[in-house]
Chain A
Amino acid sequence: MSSVFNKIKDNVTEGVRENQEDAIKRGAGAGKRTILIWGIAIIVLVTVPTYAGDYVLNVMILMLLYMALGQMWNLLGGYAGLVSLGQQSFIGIGGYALAIVSQKYGLPALLAFGIAAGVSVVFALVISIPIFKMQGVYFTIGTWIVSECLALWFSTWAWANYAQGYNITITYQMTATHIYYVALAIGVGSLIVVFFILRSRLGLALMAMRDNESAAEVRGVELYRTKLKCFLISACVTGVAGAGIYLQQAFIQPTNAFGISWTVSMVFMVVIGGLGTVEGPIIGAVIYVVLRQVLYNFPGISMVILGIIAIAIILLAPKGIMGIFGRRVTIDIFSVRRK
């Protein structure tokens, strides 16, 4: 019996090894193919507005923006071991930056994106001082509390128009195509940020932290600084994406802008897509946005269905969708592997 067992085990090990070797062989000739795939993807994405209607365009906008949010949450939760439930702080900051800059002061919206990025980073740096003293689940709860405080503060803050919030009328002057290009820039931008981080020295340290934090520290990875960098980068891009989201939504209110449901959707996307992978949030964002559109037809039970799907995927594929097929095929287009 033990010999049969061993044989099966050998076969499995061998199978995994073959997959790896295949991936490496494919990787060797991947240069040209990668460029080709990227080229096609960019052409398709840039030309979408020429052949797609407003509905498709709006769905694409959501996918791109949510993908950016997912990428940023993945940077924290998937790599740096920082499980945050407070990323909505930065969405709110981004959204309010847009509302206040364009609506209150009538300044160009482009400026709002810069302010969203800057304020998010500064705010993240300030709250990191107390928040980073907390470990594990306390960090998670701490980030959430910060968001709840922001929601309360904005509700009572005259400058932010109390709980009434703002109508962002600049949206009505823009077509879906305009907003789509903004979303495309944010989505692709977030991907480029993540890709370059992972290809840099910081990325090497992050991947080591993802796999084993205590071992990484002994190997010379400065956990505090690495985590802080991720937190700031994530805050910056999430803030910009927040501004993008409210450019489409056209109405902002504190309880909505600083609500936890933003981060819940980020976690959903990343976990079903595949934690700690670049592809995971992309797959997750596509699935999440499509599901949400479909589930609009089932008001009342839509959240229940979403929850059941999330539980089913976690049970069947604990490492997300990338975990199932990452073993059989390696998607080379986002390969951050060093050769």
Chain B
Amino acid sequence: MSELLRVEDLSIAFGNNQVLKGLSFEVNENEVLGIIGPNGAGKTVLLNILTGILKPDSGRIIYQGEDIAKTKIVERTYMGIGRTFQVPRSFEGMSVYENVMIGGVCGRQMTEKEAGAGADKILAQINMADKRDLLAGTLGLLDRKRLEIGVALASKPRLLLIDEAAGGLTESEVVSIIDIVRGAKEQGVTIIWIEHVLQTMIEGTDRTLCVAEGRNVICGNPRDVMDSPEVHAVYLGTEEDYADEGAGADNDIAKTGTAQALPPQDKTLLEISGLNVLHGDLQAIHDVSMRIERGHIVSIIGANGAGKSTLLNTVMGIHNPAGGTIVFEGDDITGKRTSAIAEKGLAMTPEGSRVFADMTVTENLLMGAYLPAAKKAKTEQLEKVFEMFPVLKEKSEQLASFLSGGQRQMLSIARAIMMNPKVVICDEISLGLAPVVIQDIYAKLKELNEQGLTFILVEQEIKRSLRHSDYSYVMVKGRIVLEGKSSELSRSDVSDAYFGINRFA
């Protein structure tokens, strides 16, 4: 087999954030290469570089023996590089048939007649011949995902890049996607397939590459890769990573003691029951129930797309649930406005910290005390926060854009604390940070927790979550598949639930 694409030492940074750090791999003619990796590994960035949407800072892309780094987006399409998007970008005002025609007419300069004949063949191949004349805007998620592949195939690609074709689909739907990809391979197409649904890697790819933090971790036979300690370490963390983060077990016992002294009705701070959330056609949360106790650190663990962020956003009133209730301190807050929910004492640090980059650190913190009740106490609260985070005091007059990733995360937490909340919800606070920095942040959380603050942590890394929390929930595809006291959950239980090994062993 000859080589079709070789990526050498690819690097790209966005500001402070080095997303790809010397990624290298190669794909052979007519091979299906799967790429897996946790959130933030740089997978979609890689596809954007391969299609010319982003320019790498360094590294080479050799396609059919030529360096294509300088070619434009459309030129790469003409060269035979096609792609699908993670969130389908069908042309909604055009029929399914016209969508597929675009691939031939624009991507391969065919006449409308040639493209039309080709489109009908492709519609049969993606099982959408019966939906030929429907507007793409009326299609459901599975059909849109299939159409994405169809439009890409219509431009007769030699190399097809698939960005998460199976995300959000049911298992039988995933099977139909795998069939379509296999069909494309049989026609001689070479495929790079990025996916979080790990089942597709084993059934649909010839070779799997695991990427983490912008580097290749391991590459080889899909099943071997999935079972390898390296991949488990990427998703779950290794013992060594956490050796010096301090044991949490002692504290846990002490804390559970104080919590048990309270009467039971006061113990529960937040109760979620039977929650269902829909994103258009896709059910992101299925019948989720949770109880968060006062003074606890509760972690929610799950892979990308498990519905963790959706769950948090629903609690904060950003999404409206289709069913179920959320009760905070005895009050039903389901479907309330976000500002009203925040006023009750729920604060959130969003994924990626989202500090106000063009405001100073102090201004950022004052934004946290925006609600009337918090505004009154803002001076004292500011002092308290500066005491807790000396580094922020040091930089108080600097613009937030000058802070490092870890400092931004600290600022995000401090900003949440400015409103004197009862619960702080942290969405992936360790994402993209160096281990030393993560230790600092978790040490701060522990300190705050000891002062009585309740935390809900959302994490992808199992080991870290278990170590730092009192109680854990594991989510897979929008459902809670496992829960229990963090000290009692074993890593293997969680990893089985997480990788869903049993489902396709």
Contact A20 B133 (CB under 8 A): yes
Report B-chain residues with C-beta under 8 Å of the C-beta of A5.
278, 322-323
Which of A208, A217, A338 is the most central at the interface, judged by chain B CB atoms within 10 Å of its CB?
A208
Closest chain-A Cβ to B401's Cβ sits at a distance in Å of 23
In the docked arrangement, what's the CA distance between A207 and B135, Å?
13
Asked if A293 is at the interface (CB within 8 A of a chain B CB), the reply is no
Kindly state whether residue A221 has any CB partner on chain B within 8 Å. Answer: yes
Q: Does B448 contact A (CB under 8 A)?
A: no
- Contact residues in A for B53 (Cβ distance below 8 Å): 214, 218
For the complex of A and B, list the 5 residue pairs with the smallest distance between their C-beta atoms, beginning with the closest: A220-B107, A2-B323, A215-B89, A211-B91, A220-B106
CB distance from B479 to the nearest CB of A (A): 14
Task: Give Cα A204–Cα B102 distance, bound, in whole angstroms.
Answer: 7
The digit string for A201-212, where 1 denotes a CB below 8 A from any CB of B, is: 100110110111
Contact A337 B98 (CB under 8 A): yes
Complexed CA–CA distance, A307 and B114 (Å) = 48
Smallest CB separation, B16 vs chain A (Å): 26
Q: Is the CB of A1 within 8 A of B98?
A: no
Residue among B102, B109, B138 making CB contact with A17, cutoff 8 Å: B138
In contact, A208 and B323 (Cβ under 8 angstroms): no
Question: B133 near A339 (CB under 8 angstroms)?
Answer: yes
Check if A306 is an interface residue, CB within 8 A of chain B.
no
**Among B77-85, B210-218, B410-418, B461-469, which stretch is in contact with chain A?**
B77-85
Question: Quick check: B77 and A219 within 8 Å, CB to CB?
Answer: yes
In the complex, what distance in Å separates the CA atom of A88 from the CA atom of B53? 35
Known contacts A1-B322, A24-B133, A215-B91: does B97 contact A220 (CB below 8 Å)? no
A13 contacts chain B at the CB level, 8 A cutoff? yes
User: What residues of chain B lie closer than 8 Å to A210, measured between beta carbons?
Assistant: 93
User: Are A201 and B105 in touch, CB under 8 angstroms?
Assistant: yes
**Do the beta carbons of B78 and A207 come within 8 Å of each other?**
no
Contact between B93 and A220, CB atoms less than 8 A apart = no
Among B91, B155, B278, B322, which residue has its beta carbon within 8 angstroms of that of A220? Answer: B155
**Is A52 on the interface with B (CB-CB < 8 A)?**
no
A54 at the interface (CB under 8 A from B): no
Given the known A-B contacts A24-B133, A208-B106, A219-B77, are A338 and B93 also in contact in the complex, defined by CB atoms under 8 Å?
Answer: no
Q: Verify if B103 is at the interface (C-beta below 8 Å from A).
A: yes
Whole-angstrom CA separation of A212 from B147 in the bound complex: 15
Q: Within residues 233 to 253 of chain B, which ones have a CB less than 8 A from any CB in chain A?
A: none
Chain A: minimal CB distance from B74 (Å): 5
Which residue on A lies nearest to B48, using beta carbons?
A: A218
Please tell me if the beta carbons of B91 and A338 are within 8 angstroms of each other in the complex: no
Chain B residue numbers with a CB within 8 Å of A215 are 85, 89-91
Task: Classify the secondary structure of B's interface with A.
Answer: mixed
Q: Closest CB of chain A to B76's CB: distance in Å? A: 9
* Residue B101 lies at the interface, judged by CB distance under 8 Å to chain A: yes
Report if B176 contacts A (CB, 8 A).
no
- B108 at interface (Cβ–Cβ under 8 A)? yes
B320 smallest CB distance to A (angstroms): 10
Within 8 A of A (CB), among B280-331: 322-324
Contact A212 B89 (CB under 8 A): yes
Interface flag for B450 (CB, 8 Å): no
Which B residues form the contact surface with A (CB < 8 A)?
A: 51, 53, 73-74, 77-78, 83, 85, 89-95, 97-98, 101-103, 105-109, 111-112, 116, 133-135, 138, 140, 151, 155, 276, 278, 322-324
Q: Give the interface SS of chain A, mostly helix, strand, loop or mixed.
A: helix
Query: Closest approach, in angstroms, between the C-beta of A298 and any C-beta of chain B?
Result: 37
| Cβ B98 vs Cβ A219 within 8 A | no
Contact assessment for A211 and B94 in the assembled complex, using a CB-CB cutoff below 8 Å: yes
Residues of B within 8 A of A24 (CB): 133
B95, A218: Cβ atoms closer than 8 Å = no
- Nearest CB of A to B310, in Å: 15
| Bound complex: CA A6 to CA B276 (Å) | 11
Q: Are B322 and A13 in contact (CB under 8 A)?
A: no
**In the bound complex, CA of A21 to CA of B112 (Å):** 24
Contacting residues, chain A, for B134 (C-beta < 8 A): 17, 20-21
* Chain B positions within 8 Å of A2 at CB level: 276, 322-324
| A220: chain B residues within 8 A (beta carbon) | 74, 77-78, 102-103, 106-109, 155
A339 to B105, CA, bound (A): 15
Question: Known: A218-B51, A339-B133. Contact between A208 and B112, CB under 8 A?
Answer: no
A216 to B93 Cα, complex, angstroms: 13
Chain A residues with CB below 8 A from B74, complex form: 217, 220-222
Question: Given A222-B74, A339-B133, are A204 and B138 neighbors across the interface (CB < 8 Å)?
Answer: no
- How near does chain B come to A302, taking the closest CB pair, in angstroms? 34
Q: Is the CB–CB distance between A204 and B92 below 8 Å?
A: no
CA distance A62 to B377 in the complex (A): 64
Task: Answer whether residue A16 sits at the interface, using C-beta atoms and an 8 A cutoff.
Answer: yes
CB distance from A108 to the nearest CB of B (A): 40
A16 to B131, CA, bound (A): 13
Partner of A338, one of B95, B135, B151: B95
Q: Which of A5, A211, A220: most chain B Cβ within 10 A?
A: A220
Whether the Cβ atoms of B105 and A205 lie closer than 8 Å is yes
- Which residues of A have CB within 8 Å of B138? 13, 16-17, 20
Complex Cα–Cα for A219 and B101 (A): 10
A208 in contact with B94 (CB, 8 Å): yes
Q: Is A280 close to B, CB under 8 A? A: no
How far is the CB of A250 from the nearest CB of chain B, in Å? 41
A207–B98 CA distance with the chains assembled, in angstroms: 10
Residue of B nearest to A337 (CB): B95
A20, A204, A212, A222 pick with most chain B CB within 10 angstroms: A204
Question: What's the minimum C-beta distance from B153 to chain A, rounded to whole angstroms?
Answer: 11
Do A212 and B106 have beta carbons less than 8 Å apart?
no
Is the pair A338, B103 in contact by a Cβ cutoff of 8 Å? no
CA distance A288 to B485 in the complex (A): 68
Q: Is the CB of B73 within 8 A of A218?
A: yes
Task: Give the chain A neighbours of B51 by CB distance below 8 A.
Answer: 218
Is A276 among interface residues, defined by CB-CB distance under 8 A? yes
Q: Is B106 a contact of A205 with CB atoms below 8 Å?
A: yes
Whether the Cβ atoms of A219 and B95 lie closer than 8 Å is no
Pick the contact of B98: A214, A216, A338 (CB < 8 A). A338
Q: Is the CB of A201 within 8 A of B112?
A: yes
* B94 A218 Cβ-Cβ under 8 A: no
Q: How far is the CA of A158 from the CA of B109 in the complex (A)?
A: 50
Residue among A20, A210, A338 with the most chain B CB within 10 A?
A338
List 17 additional contacts besides A205-B102, A215-B90, A218-B53; criterion CB under 8 Å.
A5-B322, A20-B138, A27-B133, A207-B93, A207-B94, A207-B98, A212-B91, A215-B85, A218-B51, A218-B77, A219-B106, A220-B106, A221-B102, A337-B95, A338-B101, A338-B112, A339-B97
Residue among A16, A201, A214 facing the most chain B CB atoms (10 A cut-off): A201
Q: Is B93's CB under 8 angstroms from A276's CB? A: yes
Contact flag A219-B103 (CB < 8 Å), given A207-B93, A338-B97:
yes
**Given the complex of chains A and B, what is the CA–CA distance between A17 and B94 in angstroms?**
14
